[in-house]
A and B are shown apart, each in its own frame.
Chain A
């Protein structure tokens, strides 16, 4: 025994031996652990609310189809993305049914069309008339080079949530608001310095140059462009320069009306509750999130369509999205397709999803459900579902490009640079800022073109 110890310690220190021993024991334990053989066709989801809503549905399906069971598996969004992309790129196991969000889904569209990991559903969707049954803008996020690779789960229109308690206490009538200029003018009495420190304690809109989400929402609403119809960068579109200049006058200078509030943190919720901001850009899913995370706002908010940039302009925007995709190598396409349609077209599930998350279905036939007309106590008795549905057809089209997130980041950086210029030079004239914005956007466009040019597939395929 002593000889063995001597032999071992001759080559390895006691510390290294312990590490080696633990490694061997861990490997053996992992190998010997009984493996639970999952039964059924794997279906990966990441959103907790979706997983909870699908569980009873899947159980019911499995009871009806014992020979074609579905195995619902919840993964963290990052794990889903990594495992999905590893499968697509390197052939590691991927579920037959995958429910990624739009950012993750787009990463699967980076290669040549023939190598996209999702099943091309275009012909099935067209043949079965699903294009007409689903809200058209919802398909855009999952369509690349004219082919559709996913069934849309949602629409995610954006409305303006405002502090109705403060607005009504000030005797302000919101019915006359049609444009952002109207909104800021009508609400301006609320932007007051209450503690006498020379600064307003309350602002009119939650948006800031560091808030890329708010910028992308407002840019899309104003018909700005991030990528063109062929998914090529379009950051230096003259319309964008005009929008950016106007946004900067909201963020800084004598006409400042916006405030930077932390999106999803306790601090942000506290600031909203304290009335530091009057209006917020609120997609349907975020309304559900607020109900769970900031119940104190219940009864203090109302919803209205976004004020337009110009009279007669668009009153909504879009943010986020989820699809149901099918692995192109699946051996069970028919079952997956039947299940996907049953899941996403289920009236019961659409109602439950709205009840639990405030997310409206993209299936137009289901919009007549009375659940969407129910008074919502969180929004002062308004029928929040109906308000979101009314705007659903007008949600702007978004790109499915894997570079979309980069384009949003680039445009937000351009806003920051423009704001820094405005603060430094004390220039808050929109026309002057538009010229500077154009120069900044030209540089951003060059950088983005460089980045996209490394992907030959997206550029070469029509």
Chain B
């Protein structure tokens, strides 16, 4: 497996998607949560439901929804951009060279609201006394966030990071459906889970697929242990 170029392509794509998801999804979720946590905000419940709703529909639905959006010429994104910026190429191939960007955008739409709910719950538990004390001591909004809010929500953030990492490593349905039941041109959308599926259920090599599954499980377990160790070190400080 270690000398199999396709496995490494899948691993690279998965890592790319995981990093992209974590670096974009979590900050967006946190920003949404901070916005919704502002005191006196009207329609908070409705906004919370609106942001959370995409996560209720499931990945296959999201994939079906985004497939036409990313289409060349007729897709909402290309047609819209070409309409407003005539120099934009309406044949821009989102699902070709930019598969991972397309997947990250689709996943962002689905999961940002989901993660936002966790952050919102954590934010509502941040000690008001500490925030007030910091404000009295002259701390600005950024300093209050950096030194009071962030340490308080760190355990939840760590938990969400772990969940998102595991979820990203297991990504299958979204790319599989968006790319028309395959890994896409030049295997650009091939993830480890999709390679496992292809090897086991398309090629019929169940032994190799099982080995891929084990590698994935051990990798995820290692990441979880590493995250736990880092979390503990942080708490001890």
Compute how far the CA of A340 lies from the CA of B72 in the bound complex, rounded to whole angstroms: 46
Please tell me if the beta carbons of A450 and B4 are within 8 angstroms of each other in the complex.
yes
Chain A residues 397 to 455 lying within 8 A of chain B, measured CB to CB, are 402-403, 405-406, 409, 412-413, 416-417, 420, 447, 450-451, 454-455
Please tell me if the beta carbons of B185 and A412 are within 8 angstroms of each other in the complex.
yes
Q: Is B86 on the interface with A (CB-CB < 8 A)? A: yes
CB neighbours of B183 from chain A (8 A): 409
Please tell me if the beta carbons of B203 and A451 are within 8 angstroms of each other in the complex.
yes
Q: Is B132 on the interface with A (CB-CB < 8 A)? A: no
Compute how far the CA of A64 lies from the CA of B126 in the bound complex, rounded to whole angstroms: 79
Please tell me if the beta carbons of A454 and B208 are within 8 angstroms of each other in the complex.
yes
Contact partner, B187, options A402, A413, A451, A454, Cβ 8 Å? A413
Please tell me if the beta carbons of B204 and A210 are within 8 angstroms of each other in the complex.
no
Chain A nearest Cβ from B28, distance in angstroms: 29
Please tell me if the beta carbons of B205 and A210 are within 8 angstroms of each other in the complex.
no
Chain A residues 254 to 295 lying within 8 A of chain B, measured CB to CB, are 260, 262-263, 265, 267, 270-271, 276
With most chain A CB atoms within 10 A of its CB, the pick from B67, B73, B184 is B73
Please tell me if the beta carbons of A413 and B205 are within 8 angstroms of each other in the complex.
no
Contact partner, B72, options A107, A209, A260, A420, Cβ 8 Å? A260
Please tell me if the beta carbons of B202 and A417 are within 8 angstroms of each other in the complex.
no
Residue of B nearest to A212 (CB): B182
CB neighbours of A260 from chain B (8 A): 72, 91
Q: Is A110 on the interface with B (CB-CB < 8 A)? A: yes
Give the interface residue-count category, chain A.
20 to 34
Q: Is the interface of B mostly helix, strand, loop or mixed?
A: loop
Please tell me if the beta carbons of A416 and B185 are within 8 angstroms of each other in the complex.
yes
Compute how far the CA of A260 lies from the CA of B75 in the bound complex, rounded to whole angstroms: 13
Contact partner, A262, options B71, B186, B208, Cβ 8 Å? B71
Compute how far the CA of A292 lies from the CA of B79 in the bound complex, rounded to whole angstroms: 29
Please tell me if the beta carbons of A409 and B74 are within 8 angstroms of each other in the complex.
no
CB-CB under 8 A for A402 and B97, given A197-B86, A412-B185: no
Please tell me if the beta carbons of B97 and A420 are within 8 angstroms of each other in the complex.
yes
Chain A nearest Cβ from B185, distance in angstroms: 4
Residue of A nearest to B185 (CB): A416
Q: Is B68 on the interface with A (CB-CB < 8 A)? A: yes
CB neighbours of A85 from chain B (8 A): 204
Chain A nearest Cβ from B200, distance in angstroms: 11
Compute how far the CA of A120 lies from the CA of B185 in the bound complex, rounded to whole angstroms: 38
With most chain B CB atoms within 10 A of its CB, the pick from A110, A209, A267, A405 is A267
Please tell me if the beta carbons of B71 and A209 are within 8 angstroms of each other in the complex.
no
Please tell me if the beta carbons of B205 and A447 are within 8 angstroms of each other in the complex.
no
Please tell me if the beta carbons of A416 and B96 are within 8 angstroms of each other in the complex.
yes
CB neighbours of A451 from chain B (8 A): 203, 205
Compute how far the CA of A216 lies from the CA of B101 in the bound complex, rounded to whole angstroms: 29
Please tell me if the beta carbons of A267 and B71 are within 8 angstroms of each other in the complex.
yes
Chain A nearest Cβ from B66, distance in angstroms: 13
Residue of A nearest to B199 (CB): A451
Chain B residues 65 to 110 lying within 8 A of chain A, measured CB to CB, are 67-68, 71-74, 86, 90-91, 95-97
Please tell me if the beta carbons of A210 and B185 are within 8 angstroms of each other in the complex.
yes
Compute how far the CA of A409 lies from the CA of B190 in the bound complex, rounded to whole angstroms: 12
Q: Is B6 on the interface with A (CB-CB < 8 A)? A: yes
CB-CB under 8 A for A403 and B203, given A267-B71, A420-B97, A447-B6: yes
Chain A nearest Cβ from B68, distance in angstroms: 6
Compute how far the CA of A214 lies from the CA of B208 in the bound complex, rounded to whole angstroms: 30
CB neighbours of A197 from chain B (8 A): 86
Compute how far the CA of A197 lies from the CA of B86 in the bound complex, rounded to whole angstroms: 8
CB neighbours of A403 from chain B (8 A): 203
Compute how far the CA of A88 lies from the CA of B96 in the bound complex, rounded to whole angstroms: 38
Compute how far the CA of A212 lies from the CA of B182 in the bound complex, rounded to whole angstroms: 10
CB neighbours of A450 from chain B (8 A): 4
Residue of A nearest to B5 (CB): A447
CB neighbours of B208 from chain A (8 A): 454
CB neighbours of A454 from chain B (8 A): 205, 208
Compute how far the CA of A210 lies from the CA of B182 in the bound complex, rounded to whole angstroms: 11
Chain A residues 228 to 271 lying within 8 A of chain B, measured CB to CB, are 260, 262-263, 265, 267, 270-271
CB neighbours of A405 from chain B (8 A): 202
Chain B residues 1 to 17 lying within 8 A of chain A, measured CB to CB, are 4-6
CB-CB under 8 A for A406 and B202, given A209-B185, A210-B185, A416-B186: yes
Compute how far the CA of A413 lies from the CA of B96 in the bound complex, rounded to whole angstroms: 11
Please tell me if the beta carbons of A420 and B205 are within 8 angstroms of each other in the complex.
no
Compute how far the CA of A447 lies from the CA of B180 in the bound complex, rounded to whole angstroms: 23
CB neighbours of B86 from chain A (8 A): 197
Please tell me if the beta carbons of B204 and A107 are within 8 angstroms of each other in the complex.
yes
Chain B nearest Cβ from A283, distance in angstroms: 18
Compute how far the CA of A107 lies from the CA of B187 in the bound complex, rounded to whole angstroms: 22
Residue of B nearest to A443 (CB): B5
Chain B nearest Cβ from A407, distance in angstroms: 11
Compute how far the CA of A413 lies from the CA of B5 in the bound complex, rounded to whole angstroms: 14
Chain A residues 62 to 107 lying within 8 A of chain B, measured CB to CB, are 85, 107
Please tell me if the beta carbons of A417 and B186 are within 8 angstroms of each other in the complex.
yes
Compute how far the CA of A412 lies from the CA of B95 in the bound complex, rounded to whole angstroms: 15
0/1 string, A198-213, CB within 8 A of B gives 1: 0100000000011010
Compute how far the CA of A354 lies from the CA of B208 in the bound complex, rounded to whole angstroms: 42
Chain A nearest Cβ from B12, distance in angstroms: 15
0/1 string, B183-207, CB within 8 A of A gives 1: 1111100000000000000111100
Compute how far the CA of A420 lies from the CA of B203 in the bound complex, rounded to whole angstroms: 27
CB neighbours of A267 from chain B (8 A): 68, 71, 74
Please tell me if the beta carbons of B4 and A413 are within 8 angstroms of each other in the complex.
no
With most chain A CB atoms within 10 A of its CB, the pick from B91, B95, B180, B203 is B203
Compute how far the CA of A197 lies from the CA of B95 in the bound complex, rounded to whole angstroms: 23
CB neighbours of B97 from chain A (8 A): 420
The 6 listed contacts between A and B (C-beta, < 8 Å) are: A209-B185, A210-B185, A267-B68, A267-B71, A417-B186, A420-B97
Instruction: Pick the 6 closest A-B CB pairs, nearest first.
Output: A416-B185, A416-B186, A210-B185, A110-B204, A413-B186, A107-B204
Given contacts A110-B204, A210-B184, A260-B91, 4 further A-B contacts (CB under 8 A): A270-B74, A402-B203, A451-B205, A454-B208
